[in-house]
Chains A and B, each alone.
Chain A
Amino acid sequence: MKVLVEVYATLYDKLGWRSKEVNFNSNEVSLEDLIKSIPDLYNTLINDLGDLTELINNYIVFINGIHAQFKNGLKTVLRDGDKVAIFPPVAGG
């Protein structure tokens, strides 16, 4: 299955890419699996947050536009065609 990952703001600056399509053979892929499968993303997040478990409460993580908190957090099982968007803390008005 295919999942699209997009990163924004400082995360985009640090990684140098904006979006990535990731292919998996299995259909049992969690949000955590997805992040761990992209080394530079994983390393940057660990560097920023210390621990991946901090991601959900400190960053804004959308799965198809819905906050991962209101799904199953890092354990959310992804489906073919899902879009994951990751934003460091941002605000405006």
Chain B
Amino acid sequence: MPGGYTGRLARIDLWSCKVTYESLPDEVLRKWIGGRGLGVYLALKEIPPKVDPLSPSNKAYVMTGPLTGIAGVPASGRWCSVTKSPLTNSIHDAHSGGKFGPYLKFAGFDGIVLEEASERPVYLWVHDGKVEIRDAHHLWGMDTHSVTDAITEELSAEVGKSEAKEIKVACIGPAGENLARIACIINDKSRAAGRGGHGAVWGSKKVKAIAVYGKSKPSIADLDKFREASAAAMKKIKESPITSEALPKYGTAVLVNIINNAGIFPTKNFKTGYFPEANAISGETIASTIMDWDKQKEEVCWGCPIGCARYTRITKPPFTGEGGGPEYETVWSLGAQTGTSDLAAVSKAHYLTNELGLDGISMGHVIGTFMELVELGKIPKEVLRGLKAEWGNGEVLVELVWRTAYRSGIGCDLAEGALRLAQKYGAPEVAMVVRGQELPAYDPRGAQGHGLAYATSNRGGCHLRAYLISPEVLGVPKLVDRFDTKGKAELVKHFQDVFAVVDSLVVCKFDTFALWTEDFASLLSAVTGWDITPKELEVIGERIYNAERAFNVLSFGDGKDYDTLPKRLLEEPMPEGPAKGHITRLPEMLGEYYMLRGWIDGRPSRIKLEELGLKWLADRLEEEGLIPK
């Protein structure tokens, strides 16, 4: 067994309440690493691609990677959920920080597979190398904070009061129970495996929570080599002004002012890229007004030397509340996207998304979609029932978050996500989505490569498949012209492949502001005992990206018709600011991207799949008549 792994996967048949344990062959681990990569491999082998994501035949993988929970690997306190998404019908991975990931490993597991569905609510108690299925009848209906406290209390009777803080809980809130397609999984109360509706998949299986506890530390194959690789990586993190200064001090919302200055801060459902009141919701304002710096330290993910996490508090009614965050993405989605500059309202809505178990990005985004539909007169008065869903109305934010989690009134439509909402009310063009997933906080009309990254993202609208904002706006590692399309296809492919590896290791993406493949190869080689090169890592990333696309082709016929952007971003020039007059010139990049990927019309070719050691997948596509000629 290579170092870094526990060598054990627990498989839970929720229907028959049977738990089995297995290990995966070394060659599978080396080909897919862990987390996202191993998740897509298992999904391809086990999930019928056309399955209804909310049916018992879908599976949910709760995964760590070989670098998860290894002290000395920067920002390795992460875990990853993989499933077929009820929002996008694609294969989908969602990532989260906090402490749950490492503790799952300390409890003795590389991952947990949830199969079938339970008849009644349950939670899993994962400790000391075993998994117990427990009744969760009394926990059903609780918000994520209450359920975390209740389970911790319940289990501390077993592990001892002094050990209570060592129990880590991942759970769903009412949104997941009510099968909201934008429901997430929350761990450690405020960290979210956010996107794609993974919370609804747990809800469909009647899994309320997973609690983990354990003391077994993963082994390291070559300690001397590891010390060297770790010291080098930590040095880079400490020397980078981004990871050592800006992120710890201001959090991710430090981006608000820069992205707004660049004129690509999507405002009022991507009508424009400039939000005049952006500073009111910026990282600088958060740091100087609502931060609790003592609590912030507790919020930082396990083993993280960066510490971007926030803990904030609103003390003045009517928006009193406190909790982890808000982050750049949620101040955008609940702020600029809805035209709201009231930081108290935005923060309160953000706290509620965590407590009720909703993806903060999608939630705010969908409210913006709804507000535009209201503005266009598409929502009948009898549906609105007096609700003043107007741009900038903070009170409405809070009400809509509640309604969505409980599918109450119009919330039932919002819970379906932006695309289904806009379709229902006769204006699908208002949905700013890719593959049905709501776009995040950057308008690609002023960042061409980022537009290509959105369009070709296997999990739908996402900034973290390939974060082209880094070279196009932030100048990391090197500034490129954001309005130019030349060379972007190559950059996007490279970022997509490397990020697929980072998601499989499993470590935080913010490492990549200071570390890249050579650093990850050194760390992984030392931990596992493999002699892995940066080139091999890139091939693994490419394999994962192709495997995901193949799953999607089998699931819903993914291909060039889906590699696109909302019409607004392709045809309507940005109305103002530095990106004024620009559209996303996707056709200038897409052909070259397919060529570099070895894809035909957005589908992996046999030659490419065989080159990546995926002949079995090429054969499967061929059988279904889906291999492009």
* A88 close to B251 (CB less than 8 A): no
In the bound complex, residues from chain B placing their C-beta under 8 Å from that of A87 are 257-258, 261
Q: Taking the complex as formed, is B474 at the interface, i.e. its CB lies under 8 A from any CB of chain A? A: yes
Per the bound structure, the CA–CA distance linking A10 and B473 in Å amounts to: 18
Hey, what's the 0/1 contact readout for A81-92 against B, CB within 8 Å counting as 1? 000010111111
Per the bound structure, the CA–CA distance linking A8 and B262 in Å amounts to: 14
Q: Taking the complex as formed, is A93 at the interface, i.e. its CB lies under 8 A from any CB of chain B? A: yes
Per the bound structure, the CA–CA distance linking A10 and B254 in Å amounts to: 10
Q: Taking the complex as formed, is B85 at the interface, i.e. its CB lies under 8 A from any CB of chain A? A: no
Given contacts A9-B246, A10-B249, A65-B263, contact A91 B284 (CB under 8 A): no
Per the bound structure, the CA–CA distance linking A69 and B177 in Å amounts to: 51
Q: Taking the complex as formed, is B14 at the interface, i.e. its CB lies under 8 A from any CB of chain A? A: no
Hey, what's the 0/1 contact readout for B278-322 against A, CB within 8 Å counting as 1? 000001100000000000000000000000100000000000000
* A-B CB pair tally, cutoff 8 Å: 90
In the bound complex, residues from chain A placing their C-beta under 8 Å from that of B327 are 92
Rounded to whole Å, the gap between the CB of A75 and the closest CB of chain B is: 17
Q: Which residue of A is nearest B252, CB measured?
A: A92
Q: Which residue of B is nearest A12, CB measured?
A: B284
Per the bound structure, the CA–CA distance linking A10 and B469 in Å amounts to: 21
In the bound complex, residues from chain B placing their C-beta under 8 Å from that of A90 are 242, 246, 250, 254-255, 258, 474
Classify the secondary structure of B's interface with A.
Answer: helix
* B255 close to A92 (CB less than 8 A): yes
Rounded to whole Å, the gap between the CB of B82 and the closest CB of chain A is: 20
* B261 close to A85 (CB less than 8 A): yes
In the bound complex, residues from chain A placing their C-beta under 8 Å from that of B253 are 92
Q: Taking the complex as formed, is B513 at the interface, i.e. its CB lies under 8 A from any CB of chain A? A: yes
Rounded to whole Å, the gap between the CB of B463 and the closest CB of chain A is: 7
In the bound complex, residues from chain B placing their C-beta under 8 Å from that of A10 are 245-246, 249
* A93 close to B578 (CB less than 8 A): no
Hey, what's the 0/1 contact readout for B224-261 against A, CB within 8 Å counting as 1? 00000000000000001110011101111111011001
Which residue of A12, A57, A62, A69 is within 8 Å of B261 (Cβ)? Answer: A62
Given contacts A12-B284, A91-B513, contact A65 B577 (CB under 8 A): yes
Q: Taking the complex as formed, is A60 at the interface, i.e. its CB lies under 8 A from any CB of chain B? A: yes
Rounded to whole Å, the gap between the CB of B453 and the closest CB of chain A is: 12
Q: Could you list some 22 contacts between A and B, CB below 8 A?
A: A8-B254, A10-B249, A57-B475, A62-B578, A65-B577, A65-B578, A67-B479, A85-B257, A87-B258, A88-B241, A88-B245, A89-B241, A89-B242, A89-B474, A90-B258, A91-B247, A91-B255, A91-B476, A91-B510, A92-B251, A92-B253, A92-B327
Listed from nearest, the 6 A-B pairs whose CB atoms lie closest are A65-B578, A92-B252, A92-B255, A90-B246, A89-B241, A91-B242
Q: List 14 extra interface pairs beyond A60-B474, A87-B261, CB under 8 A.
A: A57-B475, A62-B261, A62-B262, A62-B578, A67-B482, A69-B479, A85-B257, A85-B258, A89-B240, A90-B255, A91-B254, A91-B476, A92-B252, A92-B255
